[in-house]
A and B are shown apart, each in its own frame.
Chain A
Amino acid sequence: MKCTSDSADSCRYGCDAIALTKLAPTTKPEPDPKPSTKPPLVEAKNLALRIPIFKSSDRSIGISPTRLLGELYFGGTKRAVATLLEDVSFTVQSGERLGIVGANGAGKSTLLRVLAGIYSPTGGQLTVRGSAKGLFDVSLGMLNDATGLENIYMRGLQMGLDLDEIKALVPGIVEFTELGDAIEKPFNTYSSGMRLRLAVSISTMIEPDILLLDEWLGAGDARFSKKVQERMNGLVEKSRGLIIATHNEKLMKSLCTHGLVLSKGMCVFHGPLDQALAYYGETCAGS
């Protein structure tokens, strides 16, 4: 197994100071027609992720109830290996935007987490050049008894920002949440819409080189949802590369240049988006 990264630990922390430096927005999502001489942003070769799991042994209902109870109590298990990803190879050049398609459970989210450095691959090679940061489970990890403002600081620190950096970002975040004075109230007094607004505002405050998205973020009422849309578009524009997993074909067509089709953890197609979507429509979706 090999997991290399150009800037030290960027694959782990995902949100180094590099992410804060303003990057020239990529105006055109079109891929460079000339073969690029620069090394690709993301290079995955035969990526595999297999994990040992404990499977409950086959239980037959026919056996005596006492034995069944005993088995349930002691949870009779046996070892097995689950293959989450197998033989996934692709590259993402600077400026390219890759859409991952596949049925539920095909391994889309798992692949994104591998790219973010959360899961380490057990086979193959992965090179990520720059900070890759995903927006996963954005509403997790809030402190219930802390105020909204304190949660901004807390999450900022955890994401690797300094107090000064957070302080500079706070007015923007607070304004974006539209929570007003409620930002000083404990998080557990918030409505679910307010919680989501705060979570989205916090997690979009960092601008990564390579943006990893598990479904497009959408939040709250129509107006706020539009604001989030704009913010997300901004993040996409500023990033050097985007990898998104979504079931929304229309969105994918408007964003992506390339497509990767996953089926049962295997990469079955990688190429231009139209072809990938066509391939997916023909083979996987129908079956």
Chain B
Amino acid sequence: MNLNSTLDLNRWHRWLYVAWFNFVVTYRKTTLGPFWLLAGPALFIVILGSIFTRVNDVPGDIFLPYMAVGVILWTLIGACVTKSTLVFHRNRAQILQGSMTLIEISVVDIISVFLQFLHQSLILVVVFAIYGLNFSWYLLVTLLGIVLIVVNGFWLSLVFGILGARYRDLNQFVAAVMRVAFLATPILWMATSGRGQQLGIYLIANPFYHFLEIVRAPLLGMPISMTSWIVALSITAAGLILANEMYKRFGRLVPLWV
């Protein structure tokens, strides 16, 4: 078994329905429904944005779009990483009934995370409607960056999913790391102004920074450094290879672990 043999592209629309369904049903019981996906980040951006634009001493029309993109992207990255650790536990029934393969479960999970992101990016539409956006072909790189994040979410889902199926500790560990990573990644502060500039070497070691930059820089009309491309693409390639190996070696044990 390898990744290709179980990834049947003729079934992709089914995964889309299943993911869409999971997304909708999650908010069924609340009065405002998926609106809550917008309310949380909106509040975050308005309140913390006005505080941190002063703390960082950066003009609001530069800082708010910067932070808004960062926060929404972090929600996508964070959801990919933290949801991945328990993905196979959550889908225990489908695994034990033999109705879905691990790959299908991962793909469905990533699609529902992505749907959530698409929904939340409405906030970005509002933010850029207020602060303006320079339209150019360079903006397409943003889309490429989002694709990169989703692809990485997929391999993470397999790798962390398999590890998390065996070691439930992983979920706690990842949650702790992600809380730190949120503040350690330039989202509420800028790497190009103030004291943030002194972090050069350290930032290179932060993988989240590079993925964030590839999506965020084109939206703000900033250049992307070569380092970011190299790191992001290498992580993607290495991750996919690792996922393939892990799946071949340990995938068959997952039904026994969950």
Cβ contact within 8 Å between B5 and A113 = no
List the B side residues contacting A133 at CB < 8 Å: 98
List the B side residues contacting A24 at CB < 8 Å: none
Residues of A in contact (CB 8 Å), total: 34
Secondary structure at chain A's binding surface: helix, strand, loop or mixed? Answer: loop
List the B side residues contacting A162 at CB < 8 Å: 14
Confirm or deny: B138 has a beta carbon within 8 angstroms of a beta carbon on chain A. Answer: no
Partner of A140, one of B29, B92, B100, B255: B92
Residue of B nearest to A120 (CB): B252
| A146 in contact with B96 given A9-B5, A9-B6 (CB within 8 Å) | no
Interface size class of B (residues with CB under 8 A): 20 to 34
For chain A, residues 107 to 125, give those with C-beta under 8 angstroms from any C-beta of chain B: 113, 116-120
Partner of B25, one of A118, A120, A146: A146
Confirm or deny: B217 has a beta carbon within 8 angstroms of a beta carbon on chain A. Answer: no
Secondary structure at chain B's binding surface: helix, strand, loop or mixed? Answer: helix
Partner of A119, one of B6, B17, B101, B256: B256
Please, how many angstroms separate the alpha-carbon atoms of A133 and B98 in the complex? 8
Cβ contact within 8 Å between A154 and B18 = yes
Cβ contact within 8 Å between B99 and A158 = yes
| A118 in contact with B255 given A140-B96, A154-B21, A157-B17 (CB within 8 Å) | yes
Confirm or deny: A159 has a beta carbon within 8 angstroms of a beta carbon on chain B. Answer: yes
With A119-B256, A145-B28, A146-B25 given, name 20 new contacts (CB 8 A).
Answer: A12-B98, A12-B101, A13-B99, A13-B101, A14-B98, A14-B99, A15-B99, A117-B98, A133-B98, A134-B98, A136-B96, A137-B97, A138-B97, A140-B96, A141-B97, A141-B99, A145-B29, A158-B99, A160-B14, A160-B99
- Contacts from A to B (Cβ < 8 Å): 9, 12-15, 51-52, 113, 116-120, 133-134, 136-138, 140-141, 143, 145-146, 150, 153-155, 157-160, 162-163, 186
7 nearest interchain CB pairs? A141-B93, A140-B93, A120-B252, A118-B98, A145-B28, A158-B99, A116-B98
